[in-house]
A and B are shown apart, each in its own frame.
Chain A
């Protein structure tokens, strides 16, 4: 369990990025962090593994303040995949790249090899293990970067904008894989602007604006709240939009819907079906 207690952070002590953020992340949760550009989302996830340390407040992992751990110690438990894959790839094959992470965190050679294979399979990269990461496409490099962190099987996996540059099929695969991890009890935290991806895959959403958390709760209630949407520069999901138009004709359709299932049920009811 990770606990952020009233965390303040300013870059160079000048540019305020977080202003009193408190957040609890339990084991086995799937959380999306959303918000406008510059809201402090990336700053927040960098506090989880100690890349940034709070100016004020505390970040607590299982009851111990993370200031007692180094980033490398935290990295074993908390994986973070950054936005730009080119910032971490440096070896001449995909396989080596993934094994490098595993060796950093103390896996044996055989274990590393095996986990590497598993991870590549789960991300649809199995054919690329001998290729140089620099010859891959942007989307593939992104997945290799993800694989290099994923292979270490951290308890908490945080991803910064994982859906950028991924086509619909890859997004679906990513979602499936994240759910799979989650079922194994790992917590998954995603920073993203992709509202549909969040609605379909993340039960809890944290909305941020100007370095503060403006809403934290079940995704469908956070993302159907107009006030939150406008403060976070998000557009309403298509489904909510549809529900609203239906509501103006059929008042019995609730305005604030985000899930396909719920909409289906209501429509069937309105149409007089079972």
Chain B
């Protein structure tokens, strides 16, 4: 599951980390939208080449490379299956483009998730007029992902101690072996959710409609700059996509 690392916040001090989460959200959405507008290898490669320096600026290149390595098996699968099953005139070229698009999409969103702390995310949502109960639920969900992982390991240990052999037997048996892991995991999570809810209510969560916050996000010049540049990029790309005939070298396909 190492490819999920690109969606996990890392504490760093970088230009990207210091940006306002709302600006970053806008930037990520624009980047993702741009990668969805094209399905040819060259334009997607250009987008990809623009994304790498952004990840670099977030000081997360190494983590990103590791995740992509973890993802490579899946990517190769996608490529093979698409090539075999596609109805396109040039299936291989098409599936390479699809794979590139997936990587570009993941990378665009990873810029956001890598650099936004869950607390910042919920604060951003609240300042975007989301009710704080929902924002809180969302940041709690993010906060408890690693805890859930640890819990899963503890449960595996407890079941192994009872003689469950998780990595032995036929495929069917292995699938059935998931039951003793999943059921306790769900039950423990529900129990924890209930007790967190109780303890939050005991501490007065939800007692007042309006909540005040210690840290309030503020848009600064550089955040406006990011938003404006992203907007221009979006307008430009949409314009190109709709009204400009791409030169033939841009539509190049891998010869089969």
Q: Does A87 contact B158, Cβ atoms closer than 8 Å?
A: yes
A–B Cβ pairs within 8 angstroms, 18 of them: A51-B157, A71-B160, A72-B160, A75-B160, A76-B163, A80-B161, A81-B161, A82-B154, A86-B191, A87-B154, A88-B159, A90-B179, A90-B180, A91-B183, A104-B162, A134-B187, A149-B161, A149-B162
CB under 8 Å from chain B, chain A span 166-181: none
Most chain-B CB neighbours within 10 Å: which of A46, A72, A81, A90?
A90
> Please, which residue of chain A has its CB at the minimum distance from the CB of B188?
A86
CB under 8 Å from chain A, chain B span 1-53: none
Q: Is A70 an interface residue (CB 8 A)?
A: yes
Most chain-B CB neighbours within 10 Å: which of A71, A82, A89, A134?
A71
Seed contacts A75-B162, A88-B161; 7 additional CB < 8 Å A-B pairs: A51-B157, A51-B160, A72-B168, A82-B157, A104-B162, A149-B161, A149-B162
Q: Is A162 an interface residue (CB 8 A)?
A: no
> Please, which residue of chain B has its CB at the minimum distance from the CB of A82?
B158
> Please, which residue of chain B has its CB at the minimum distance from the CB of A85?
B158
Which residues of the partner chain A approach B157 to less than 8 Å between Cβ atoms? 46, 51, 82, 87
Which residues of the partner chain A approach B191 to less than 8 Å between Cβ atoms? 86
> Please, which residue of chain B has its CB at the minimum distance from the CB of A101?
B162
Q: Does A87 contact B155, Cβ atoms closer than 8 Å?
A: yes
Q: Once A and B bind, how many residue pairs between them come within 8 Å at the CB atom? A: 69
CB under 8 Å from chain A, chain B span 160-191: 160-165, 168, 179-180, 183-184, 187-188, 191
Which residues of the partner chain B approach A100 to less than 8 Å between Cβ atoms? 162, 180
Task: Report the separation of the CA atoms of residues A81 and B180 in the bound assembly, to the nearest whole angstrom.
Answer: 16
Task: Report the separation of the CA atoms of residues A86 and B181 in the bound assembly, to the nearest whole angstrom.
Answer: 11
Which residues of the partner chain B approach A51 to less than 8 Å between Cβ atoms? 157, 160-161
Q: Is A84 an interface residue (CB 8 A)?
A: yes
Most chain-B CB neighbours within 10 Å: which of A88, A100, A101?
A88
> Please, which residue of chain A has its CB at the minimum distance from the CB of B164?
A104
Task: Report the separation of the CA atoms of residues A87 and B180 in the bound assembly, to the nearest whole angstrom.
Answer: 9
Task: Report the separation of the CA atoms of residues A193 and B11 in the bound assembly, to the nearest whole angstrom.
Answer: 36
- A-B pairs, top 6 by smallest CB distance, nearest first, are A104-B163, A90-B183, A87-B158, A88-B158, A80-B161, A75-B163
Task: Report the separation of the CA atoms of residues A104 and B162 in the bound assembly, to the nearest whole angstrom.
Answer: 7
> Please, which residue of chain A has its CB at the minimum distance from the CB of B154?
A87
Which residues of the partner chain B approach A75 to less than 8 Å between Cβ atoms? 160-163
Which residues of the partner chain A approach B154 to less than 8 Å between Cβ atoms? 82, 84, 87
Closest-CB distance, B186 to chain A (whole angstroms): 9
Q: Does B163 contact A87, Cβ atoms closer than 8 Å?
A: no
Closest-CB distance, B213 to chain A (whole angstroms): 34
